[in-house]
Structure 1
Amino acid sequence: MYLLLDIGNTREKAALFDAGSISALPQLTAESLQQLPLVAVYFACVANDSRLDSLKQKLELDHLPWRQISSEAQAFGVTNCYAEPHLLGVDRWLALLGAQQLFSRQSVMIVDAGTALTIDWLDENGLHQGGWIMPGLRLQQQSVVQQTAKVFNRELLDARMIPGRETISCLQNGCLAAVIGAIQQGWLLNKAECLILTGGDALYLKPQLADLAVSTEPLLIFQGLARYIDN
């Protein structure tokens, strides 16, 4: 059994890989891992070394081998379009690998809806066609609130694709429209056989994209990460 980690600057997500199957690990503590027959940790990390060292100590897994995965020019039949491949965010790289495995020989548009919203296109031959990076749903709202004196918001996200009638609904609905509009424009620009949604806001956005061929894959990045096991 292998522990898979996606380590960000503020939080980390985890999954387990066992006998070809991937399952989410909602609680990442030393206690939750203590009884598991782990043999190694495979991880992607955008945080600094001190955060990584702190996590190793916190999880009490210093005795296991840790293998860090980084973006590459080519791997597993996927070709990175960046002239400097290592500069492609590793989460985007792993999403490409996961998508190519799940939707082999199909063109896909990958939308990772998290703090940032990223869109990447992969053709049926595994060639990365490029992508977009923009603020995610909540980051857009935070930016407007922080940079304007008389716009305010609330924690509860209750956006709909209709005109708002007071400040909060105007803000939330407007940011939702911006995100959905970008996704729809991306689909028209470079139409694929399937639109893959992943990330924290994926389930929230999916109902607004019912007219597209959408597949929700919450473990997409871990799917890509698991391809490196024993390779």
Structure 2
Amino acid sequence: MRLLVDVGNTAVKVALERSGNISVISAAHIPWQKIEEVLIAQVGGNEGLEPILHNAHLHQIPHYFASVSASLGALKCAYPEFKNLGIDRWLTVVASYHLFPNKACIIVDSGTATKVDVLGADGQHQGGWILPGLDMMIESLVANTQKVFSDSTTSFDTVLGTNTPNAVKNAALSATVALAKQAVEQIERVGDEVQLIYAGGYGELIQQHLDPSGIYFDDLVMQGLVFWRKYQQNV
């Protein structure tokens, strides 16, 4: 059994993987006696990760930090300076490549930031965009303008706002959806069929307003970790 650890900007998520099955659990309920190795995707700081590493050391369990590479089998990274690509983005690309082989994929991962990545049907990562997440957009606007405000009760939508919270929240969502649509249009221009993949805390919301036929994953980075590890073991 493996322990999968996703260290994000705002939270640390952990999951168990056994025979390809992934189940998200609480960090307080890790069955350390059954863990054979720990796989880590780290974007955020060490504070939430340190107790996990401490326990892994106590139980003499090896741990591995996932890293970005220029290629992973037939999968190729778009960045010439591949180490500058965030590991969370790379792992979502890795997972998508394996979940949807020989298919062009657009990955919309929306949390603290919104990341849109494009993967060609040939396994070539074509690059992507990074946009402030919905909450960050709103917080930045409210903090730096007068008489512009939001609230915690107004729902997100893409229609024109008829009050200030509507206008602020709907603009943030509309901008995010429009960015993802631009990626879809670029892929469709070359005639490739597109598989839309959603992830992150706002992934399902964007799915509703962009294309509900796409697929949402709450463990896409975790799945990427598993596939990444398989490559390391076969090298």
TM-score with structure 1 length normalisation? 0.90
Contact 1:76 1:97 in 2 (8 A): no
Query: 1:51 Cα deviation (Å)?
Result: 5.7
- Stretch of structure 1 that moved more, 5-14 or 141-150: 5-14
Q: Any idea what SS the aligned residue of 2:225 has?
A: helix
Q: Which amino acid aligns with 1:28?
A: A
| Residue deviations 1:65-92 (CA, integer Å, cap 9, x gap) | 1111111111132110111111110001
User: What is the match of residue 172 of structure 2?
Assistant: 175
Q: CA RMSD in A?
A: 1.9
| Matched residue count | 225
CA positional deviation for 1:55: 4.3
The reply to whether residue 110 of structure 1 matches residue 86 of structure 2 is no
- Report if aligned partners of 1:42, 1:66 keep a CA contact under 8 Å in 2: yes
- How big is each residue's C-alpha offset from its partner over 1:174-222, in whole Å with a ceiling of 9 and x where there is no partner? 1111111111122112235211111110111111123x74111221111
Deviation at 1:34, TM superposition (A): 3.6
SS of residue paired to 2:118? strand
Q: How does 1:171-210 map to 2 (within 5 A)?
A: 171-191=168-188, 192-210=193-211
Q: CA separation in 1, counterparts of 2:114 and 2:21?
A: 27
Q: What is the CA distance between 1:56 and its match in structure 2?
A: 2.5
Are residues 22 and 76 of structure 1, via their aligned partners in 2, closer, same or farther at CA, if it must alter by over 3 Å? farther
Q: Is the 8 A contact 1:193 1:213 kept in 2?
A: no
Moved more, 131-140 or 9-18: 9-18
Superposed CA deviations along residues 152-178 of structure 1, whole A, max 9, x for unmatched, are 111235011211111111111111111
Moved more, 106-115 or 45-54: 45-54
The separation in 2 between residues aligned to 1:221 and 1:20, in whole angstroms, is 14
Pick from 139, 156, 160 the counterpart of residue 157 of structure 2: 160
Paired residue for 1:71?
68
Following the alignment from structure 2 to structure 1, what is the Cα–Cα distance between the partners of residues 64 and 111? Answer: 25
Q: Distance in 2 between matches of 1:19 and 1:207?
A: 32
1:46 alignment partner, one of 40, 43, 47: 43
TM-score (norm 2): 0.89
Task: Quote the Cα distance in structure 1 between the aligned partners of 2:3 and 2:133.
Answer: 28
Q: Give 1:61 shift.
A: 2.7
Q: Hey, what's the Cα distance between the residues in 2 that align with 1:198 and 1:9?
A: 15
Question: What does residue range 1-231 of structure 1 map to in structure 2 within 5 Å?
Answer: 1-25=1-25, 27-29=26-28, 32-34=29-31, 37-48=34-45, 52-57=49-54, 60-62=55-57, 63=59, 64-156=61-153, 158-191=155-188, 192-210=193-211, 213-229=213-229, 231=233
Q: What letter is aligned with 2:163?
A: E
Distance 1:157 1:219 in 2: 28
CA contact (8 A) 2:2 2:38 kept: yes
- Displacement of 1:47 in angstroms is 3.3
Structure 1: runs of 5 or more not aligned? none
The one-letter code sitting in structure 2 at the alignment partner of 1:206 is Q
